[in-house]
Every structure is written in C-alpha cells, then in structure tokens.
C-alpha cells in the first residue's frame, strides 16, 4: 500500500520529521535574555516579582514584610500556524518536498518564542511592568525613599566611542538599581548581554573587545562577560535603540511563560481531505512573553 493511501502512516512519518526538526532547533534569544517559567493554568500572577523580604536585627520577633496584594497577570495566549498540501502535488513531489516544509514549520514555531520577546522589548515603553509603570520608564519607584529610578539610557551616537560610553552607563545604571527593600538588587553580577540591530553590531563589538578606544585604554569591561547578540528583528524599529541586560541573576528583565509547548497536528482523512483532496498540517503553542524584573534591563535609545 502506498504511504499516501495510508493516512496514519503518512501522519506518523511527518510527525517524526517534525519532532526531529524541533530537537534540531531552539529559541536563539530565550537562553540569554529571558527567564523561563512553566505555567499550569490559563494565567499566572507574577506580582511576586516585587516581593522582596528585608533582613534586619532580631529584636524580639521576626519582622515580616507584607506580601503585595497587587495583581500582575500573565494570561496565556494561543498561537498557531499551518500549511496545506494538495494530495496530487504530494504524490508528484511538486511541493518541493513535504518534509522540508514540515521542518521549516517547526523551525518557525520554535523561533516564534523569540519574536514574542522582541515584541515586548520594542513596545517596552507601553507594556506594563509589575510596578504599574512601563517596562522602560524614568519613573519606576525607588522603594524606601521618595525618589524614582530609570532604566532608560540616552543614546549618544553610533560610533565605537559612543557605544563604549552608553554600555558603560548602562552597566552603572544596572549596578545602582534598588529592590523593594530599598537596597541594591544587582550586586555581584558579572555577565550581561547587549541585544542590538545589525547596524550597531560593529561599533558595539569594537567598544567591548578593542584594547584601545579613542586613544584611551579600554579597561572598563574588564572582568565582565559580555554577550553581543545581533537581532535582525530590531531593524524594523530603530537603528538607534538597543538593550543591555543582566544574564547571571535569577530573574531577568523578560519572562517567557509556557503553558503548552509546540505541538504538531495533521489532518489527512477529514472532510477536506476526502472532498477536496487537500491535506492540512498545523503547529500549536500556548504561552506569553511579559516584562520581568525591570531592574535587570535597560534600553539605550
């Protein structure tokens, strides 16, 4: 019996192709710029992002900080994509190979997690963070005082010297961020990422790695591990914007919440397949990307 005449056999074969493609691909940005969370419901409350217990001398009884009653919900969304193939084209191999199309579908689905993270970044001046301010704001509250904190750094230009200045200012801003108890919350970080559009890749790379910049020894990044990530998805926004974030502390500036991983579904024996001789293949995933701890990421713009 031909594989085309046996829908179950065809489905199993393409599912194997899809799984192999999933295993061969992974989100490029997620491991560096976001904290991964697994979700077991339709939504999660991330208000815990702002709950930090202070430590003080014991004077008769433990001093407890009250947990926040606020809600910062991350509501999972469903994402799908699919392709359809005519049975005759599949039999005659006029589609360029169904396996190749299935592999590409898997790759695009996996990398869509990265697209979701970039969307949060580029819309970060409007996406609400856990403190009710935008992810990137000059008016984040400074707990324990009447002041405010900013995770915005002014872009000074596209030269290597400019990039050196701006990345240095970003590291200084991250170092001085305060937590909910009014104390520095990023002490001891040694690893950062710089996420930038391709147009800024060269000056940023030179600013980080060159021994001399503008006739001066470049020593300000000594002891700091800097990962430079070039992201073409940022090109459509502005060539004068990029992001500097902390990698080696528990909760990063972005969160990727996954409810259901990427799955593969096919239909080779339904009404459409029978009456129109068209086979359908679909990917499906559920989750959401949200701002994490705004103290661990700055926007240079």
Contacts of 213 (CB under 8 A, 6+ apart): 160, 161, 164, 206, 207
Q: Give one word for 5, left, alpha or beta, with left for phi > 0 and alpha for psi -120 to 50.
A: alpha
Q: What is the DSSP letter of 235?
A: T
Rounded Cα–Cα distance for residues 115 and 102 (Å): 20
Rounded Cα–Cα distance for residues 160 and 205 (Å): 8
**List of E strands, the chain:** 34-38, 43-45, 73-75, 77-86, 140-141, 148-149, 152-153, 191-196, 212-213, 216-217, 225-230, 242-246, 254-267, 278-291, 297-300
- Tell me what pLDDT residue 2 has: 41
Cα angle value 257/259/262 (rounded, 5°): 100
Cα angle value 186/191/192 (rounded, 5°): 85
- Tell me what pLDDT residue 119 has: 95
224 three-state secondary structure? coil
- Tell me what pLDDT residue 182 has: 81
- Tell me what pLDDT residue 3 has: 45
Q: What is the pLDDT along the chain (301 residues), one digit of tens a residue?
A: 344 445 555 556 677 878 888 888 888 899 999 999 999 999 999 988 886 666 777 877 776 665 555 688 999 999 998 887 777 776 776 545 777 888 888 889 989 999 999 999 999 999 999 999 999 999 998 766 668 999 999 999 999 999 999 999 999 999 999 887 788 999 999 999 999 999 999 999 999 887 777 767 777 777 889 999 999 999 866 678 999 999 999 899 999 999 999 988 766 556 666 677 777 788 899 999 999 999 999 999 9
- Tell me what pLDDT residue 5 has: 46
- Tell me what pLDDT residue 256 has: 96
- Tell me what pLDDT residue 80 has: 93
Cα angle value 238/242/246 (rounded, 5°): 160
**Which H or E run includes 113?**
helix 98-122
Domain ranges of the chain: 20-42+72-132+140-300
- Tell me what pLDDT residue 39 has: 95
Residue 196 has which token pair?
């930038």
């Amino acid at each position: 019996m031909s594989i085309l005449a046996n829908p179950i056999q065809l489905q199993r074969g393409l599912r194997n192709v899809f799984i192999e493609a999933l295993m061969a691909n992974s989100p490029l940005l997620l491991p560096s710029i976001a904290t991964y969370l697994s979700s077991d419901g339709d939504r999660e409350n991330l208000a815990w992002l702002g709950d930090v217990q202070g430590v003080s001398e014991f004077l008769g009884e433990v001093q407890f900080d009250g947990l926040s009653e606020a809600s910062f919900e991350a509501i999972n969304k469903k994402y799908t994509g699919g392709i359809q193939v005519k049975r005759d084209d599949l039999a005659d191999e006029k589609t360029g190979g169904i396996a190749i199309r299935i592999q590409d579908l898997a790759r695009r689905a996996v990398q869509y997690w990265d697209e979701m993270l970039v969307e949060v970044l580029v819309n970060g001046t409007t996406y609400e963070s856990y403190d009710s301010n935008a992810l990137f704001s000059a008016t984040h509250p400074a707990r324990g005082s009447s002041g405010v904190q900013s995770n915005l750094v002014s872009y000074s230009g596209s030269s290597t010297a400019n990039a050196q200045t701006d990345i240095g200012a970003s590291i200084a801003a991250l170092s001085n961020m305060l937590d909910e108890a009014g104390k520095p919350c990023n002490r001891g970080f040694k690893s950062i990422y710089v996420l930038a559009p391709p147009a800024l890749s060269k000056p940023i790379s030179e600013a980080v790695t060159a021994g001399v910049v503008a006739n001066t020894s470049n020593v300000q990044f000594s002891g700091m591990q800097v990962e430079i990530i070039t992201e073409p998805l940022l090109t459509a926004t502005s060539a004068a914007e990029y992001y500097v974030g902390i990698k080696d502390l528990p909760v990063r500036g972005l969160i990727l919440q996954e409810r259901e991983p990427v799955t593969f579904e096919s239909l080779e024996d339904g009404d459409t397949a029978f009456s129109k001789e068209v086979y359908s293949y679909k990917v499906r995933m559920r989750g959401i990307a949200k701002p994490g701890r705004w103290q661990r990421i700055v926007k240079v713009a």
